[in-house]
Amino acid sequence: MDKKKLFDLKDQVGKAKAKASELKGRKSQLIDTLKNEHGCISVNQAEKKDNKMETEIDKLENKKEKAVKELEDEYDF
């Protein structure tokens, strides 16, 4: 391997290290956001909370649709 290839390889390694460091920082920031804004200490906990919220939204949407249907039936829309 000649010097140019070695320097190119060294440059690629340096860029990969910088990218890894950036991604670790972003991960840390996202985990902090989960904790501070959503009260979750892990991604797993956040997924469970999300599923629970989606179920609650579905229930509320069904309740709303039922109420609208009742109003439509009552007032002959």
pLDDT in tens, 9-25: 999 999 999 999 999 99
Cβ neighbors of 43 (< 8 A, separation 6 or more) are 34
Mean pLDDT, range 30-54, rounded to an integer: 95
Comparison of pLDDT for 50 and 76, the residue scoring more: 50
pLDDT for the residue 49 = 95
Q: What average pLDDT does the structure give for the chain?
A: 94
Q: Which of helix, strand or coil describes residue 42?
A: coil
Residue 39 lies in a domain: yes
Domain count, the chain: 1
Give the domain extent around 33.
9-74
Comparison of pLDDT for 2 and 17, the residue scoring more: 17
H/E stretch holding 25 reads helix 3-38
pLDDT for the residue 46 = 94
Q: Are 35 and 45 in contact (CB under 8 A)?
A: no
Cβ neighbors of 7 (< 8 A, separation 6 or more) are none
pLDDT at 1 > cutoff 80 = no
Residue 58 lies in a domain: yes
